[in-house]
A = this chain, B = another copy of it.
Amino acid sequence: MPAKTDIGPPYFKDFLPKVILDNYGKWDYHEIVKPGVLMHVGESGDKLWSVRVGGARLICTDRVREYCDIADEFCDGHFRFTSRHNVEFLVADEAKLEPLIKVLTDKGYPIGGTGNGITSIVHTQGWVHCHTPATDASGPVKAVMDELIDYFTGVKTLPAQLRIALACCLNMCGAVHCSDIAILGIHRKPPKPDVNKLPKVCEVPSTISSCPTYAIKPKKLEDGTKSIEINDERCMYCGNCYTMCPAMPLADPEADGIAIWVGGKVSNARSGPKFSKLAIPFLPNNPPRWPEVVDAIKNIVELYAADARKYERVGDWIERIGWETFFDKTGIPFTDMHIDDFDGGAPPPHIAFRTTAQFRF
């Protein structure tokens, strides 16, 4: 029997716990009871506690079953994940709250990620599954979170929320372009095309036109076959040609590494959404624990913690003190790489468009 197609996802309301169905759209307010524990109060007076737990995202079915076991015990068989891949255990019965927290703590799950601190790092596949990465994803994330866990669990707090994201190549599946701190895998050498294989596995014209900087030129091979060559000087290692054509690999163990970006945000709170800006053009890939990356981020976070004003996101803080002061205080060297010189990357006309939901009617 052929499978049914186009049935779509299960209806979400079938998955909601009773307290939510009862108070759907009628929540009155919330409180952060303690780090990682939210209490939402309905107009009805009903209460819902959510206990947020950090995880690896790259998890096995056993892990999921463990979550299920816990949810069965304390949450009437319901729980959820957040938009940043944390787990939230939903408790309607206050009596179960502390026991739940105890079980989670005993099992070593970090509870936190709420309020003005650091929550889980949105990230991508890296060497675990993708074909274009310039670094790993899960590894650096684990290393960074080990270091910053106190900001997750609320042992330490920050002036505002601080969102970290990682993407392992310029495709930016982690959408790091609007993060307080972004970790980005970058290539730094032009692709090394397999010019003989290329015409067999790829369309030459579309390979050529895939390059935004026109770095790929047609070139005839000795036998007359049409292939391509690369003008290295025009290449900025975006990898788009490789996405289009497998015969253009550009990964390189020594040239690849990580760039650190700062000051982006998404919410409309106070200032509008903004892009992350380049802070550190390159740090080497140093598995398994990427110490340079961990140190660099720790340095920025600690400075921010000490220097920013209440409610100031990283980008707002830097704008207030000025980028020169940021580079000065962090000790990050300023380089010509920081100065935008990508033509196409120049904010196109939409710079004039309103990219916040902030406006007057």
Write the residues of chain A forming the contact surface with B, with a CB cutoff of 8 angstroms: 322, 324-325, 339-343, 345-349, 351-353, 359-361
Q: CB < 8 Å: which of B324, B339, B351, B361 contacts A359? A: B324
Which B residues touch A353, using CB under 8 A?
A: 339
CB distance from A182 to the nearest CB of B (A): 17
A324–B345 CA distance with the chains assembled, in angstroms: 28
Complex Cα spacing A349 to B346, Å: 5
Cα separation A241 to B78 with both chains bound (whole Å): 69
> Which of B325, B343, B359 is A349 in contact with, Cβ under 8 Å?
B343
Check A343 against B351 for contact (C-beta < 8 Å). Answer: no
* B contact residues around A325 at 8 Å (CB): 360
Would A340 and B349 count as touching, CB distance under 8 A?
A: yes
Docked CA distance A220–B319 (Å): 56
Smallest Cβ-Cβ distance to A328: which chain B residue: B360
CB distance from A322 to the nearest CB of B (A): 5
Of B324, B339, B347, B359, the residue contacting A347 (CB under 8 A) is B347
What is the bound-complex CA distance between A339 and B353, given in angstroms? 8
Kindly provide the distance from the CB of A268 to the nearest chain B CB, expressed in whole angstroms: 14
Beyond the given A324-B360, A339-B352, A346-B347, could you list 17 further A-B residue pairs with CB under 8 A, ordered by the A residue number?
A322-B359, A322-B360, A324-B359, A324-B361, A325-B360, A339-B353, A340-B349, A340-B351, A340-B352, A341-B349, A342-B349, A345-B349, A346-B346, A346-B349, A346-B351, A347-B347, A351-B351
Task: Give Cα A353 to B353, complex, Å.
Answer: 20
Q: Which residue of B lies closest to A359 (CB)?
A: B324
Q: Which residues of B contact A346 (CB under 8 A)?
A: 346-349, 351
Residues of B with C-beta under 8 A to A340: 349, 351-352
Of A325, A342, A352, chain B has the most CB atoms within 10 Å of the CB of: A352
